[in-house]
Structure formats: structure tokens, C-alpha cells
């Protein structure tokens, strides 16, 4: 009907999301259960689930280990299936039977998840399948294809490099890492997790206004809480004359202007602290 009216239809689906959908379609064709590394209420994962006949979502390595443990140790009638389904009742297909549907599996992921965790989950599932069915049968019981978004990978790798520089005694350490992006953005939240896990002081803001002239910062913690605290006062002034070093990154879909505005706010604080160097 749209063609007859001369309407031009443009498919704006992210190509990396389309790869995920193609992957889970392959799972269905091969008779595999899709194990999706993602948050089951995230819009992208909800769309991916709609492409699957049989699926289960795991949000992290801990839940993947629960799946692996069930595959290796559970037996029909031992009661483990009931406890398993109670935990995953909102994250699996309605007809999901772990004794039946975890014998042939394929891994897919929400494209904005933490890349290293997705790889760790893949390695865990591979080892589990080989232990359960034998290395020679892995291709009959397991399928995996990397569907982490390129833009997400580049940013995660860059933050890892910043943390490595911080930990390298031969290189200048960072005083903090600033992550700019929406508070509801999954890929931005994962960017914050990297320095937090590495012990590097870091903040996630969603706009430049989070940094104030009063030297406070409103930011989202890894637990999802929005808090306000002093920003630069605990690292300035420097008695040895050294400059504050800040690493800056942003979510995959964060406009460049938001990052530039955040940097402008930091530069504004030079009026109070004259040793800032971004």
C-alpha cells in the first residue's frame, strides 16, 4: 500500500542488531535454544526474544554459571528444574524445559553488553558442552557468533587502555575517568563498570549540567543510584605542581556536543583550580 502512495521506506535497524536477529534465526533453524546475554527487559533484548521460539536470557556470568551448573549436574526428578525455572521465570520462553532445551544451545547477546563478559560466557558454555557431550560433539550442541557492536567494542577497549595506563608505573596515572551518556543507556553503564572494577575513580553523567560551578557532580553509580558529591576538591590543589589528568569517554550514541559541553564545564573550573589538564 505504501508503494502505491509513493512512500519511501527506509530500514534504520542497526546492522549489529540485525546480525543478532540473524544469529538467533540460525539457532531456530538448527533446533537450538538461544541463550541471550542481555537484560530481559531491555528493548533490544525484547525484540531479539520475539525472534526466538525457545530462549533464556542471562544478564551476567553468575547466571550463565547457573545454566552451566544445571547442564552438568541436574537430573530429572531432583527438584533443580523447579528452582531453576523460578529464578528465570521472567527471562525464558513460556514453554522452557531446562532438561530438554539445554541440550543444544546457541549464544547471542544484546549488542551493548560488556564484551569481555560475553566472551567469558561463551568460553564457559563451550567448556560445559564439551564436558557434557564430549569435545568431538561440540558442533552438534553449541553455536556462537560474535555480535557485539563495533562502536561498543571500540569504547570498551579505549577505557581498558585508559585503565592500563593508570596502572602502568611508567605512565602518568589518571585521577578520574568521566563517562558521558544517558543514564538509561546499557552500553554507557558498562563503560562505567570497567574503571570501577579496576579501582579507577570514575563518574557517569548524562549531561554537562551535572558538573556545576560549585564543584559538585551529579552522577549515576554502577548500582543505578543518582547521587551528588564533590567533584575535584579531593584531588586539588597539588602541592607538587602536577596537573589533574582526566580520561573522557562516551556512550555509542552520545552526541559529540554533549561530550564537548562536559569538557567545557571542566575547563570552567579552572577559575577555581588552576592545575587542571584534560
Catalytic pick from 43, 44, 75, 82? 44
Rounded distance between C-alpha atoms, residue 20 and residue 207, angstroms: 30
Contacts of 258 (CB under 8 A, 6+ apart): 180, 181, 207, 208, 250
| 8 Å CB contact between 209 and 186 | no
Q: How far, rounded to the nearest angstrom, does the alpha carbon of residue 197 sit from its chain's CA centroid?
A: 13
Residues in the chain: 278
8 Å CB contact between 162 and 175: no
Q: Please indicate whether residue 136 is annotated as part of the active site.
A: no
Question: Phi then psi for 58, rounded to 5 degrees?
Answer: -120, 130
Q: At what angle do helices 61-73 and 80-88 cross, to 10 degrees?
A: 160
What are the residue numbers of the active site? 44
Amino acid at each position: 500500500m505504501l508503494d502505491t502512495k509513493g512512500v519511501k521506506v527506509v530500514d534504520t535497524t542497526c546492522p549489529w542488531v540485525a546480525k543478532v536477529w540473524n544469529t538467533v534465526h540460525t539457532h531456530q533453524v538448527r533446533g537450538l535454544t538461544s541463550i541471550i546475554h542481555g537484560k530481559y527487559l531491555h528493548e533490544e533484548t525484547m525484540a531479539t526474544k520475539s525472534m526466538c521460539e525457545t530462549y533464556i536470557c542471562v544478564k551476567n556470568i553468575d547466571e550463565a554459571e547457573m545454566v552451566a551448573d544445571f547442564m552438568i549436574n541436574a537430573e530429572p526428578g531432583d527438584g533443580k528444574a523447579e528452582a531453576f525455572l523460578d529464578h528465570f521465570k521472567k527471562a525464558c520462553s513460556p514453554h522452557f524445559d531446562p532438561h530438554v532445551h539445554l541440550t543444544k544451545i546457541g549464544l547471542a547477546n544484546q549488542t551493548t553488553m560488556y564484551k569481555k563478559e560475553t566472551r567469558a560466557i561463551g568460553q564457559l558454555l563451550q567448556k560445559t558442552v564439551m564436558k557434557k557431550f564430549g569435545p568431538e560433539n561440540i558442533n552438534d550442541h553449541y553455536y556462537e557468533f560474535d555480535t557485539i557492536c563495533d562502536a561498543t567494542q571500540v569504547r570498551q577497549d579505549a577505557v581498558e587502555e585508559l585503565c592500563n595506563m593508570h596502572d602502568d608505573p611508567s605512565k602518568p596515572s589518571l585521577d578520574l575517568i568521566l563517562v558521558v551518556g544517558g543514564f538509561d543507556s546499557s552500553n554507557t553503564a558498562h563503560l562505567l563498570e570497567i574503571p570501577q572494577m579496576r579501582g579507577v575513580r570514575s563518574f557517569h553523567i548524562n549531561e554537562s549540567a551535572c558538573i556545576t560551578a560549585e564543584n559538585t557532580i551529579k552522577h549515576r553509580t554502577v548500582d543505578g543510584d543518582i547521587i551528588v558529591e564533590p567533584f575535584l576538591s579531593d584531588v586539588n590543589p597539588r602541592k607538587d605542581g602536577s596537573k589533574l589528568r582526566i580520561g573522557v569517554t562516551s556512550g555509542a550514541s552520545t552526541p559529540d556536543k554533549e561530550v564537548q559541553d562536559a569538557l567545557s564545564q571542566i575547563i570552567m573550573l579552572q577559575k577555581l583550580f588552576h592545575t587542571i589538564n584534560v
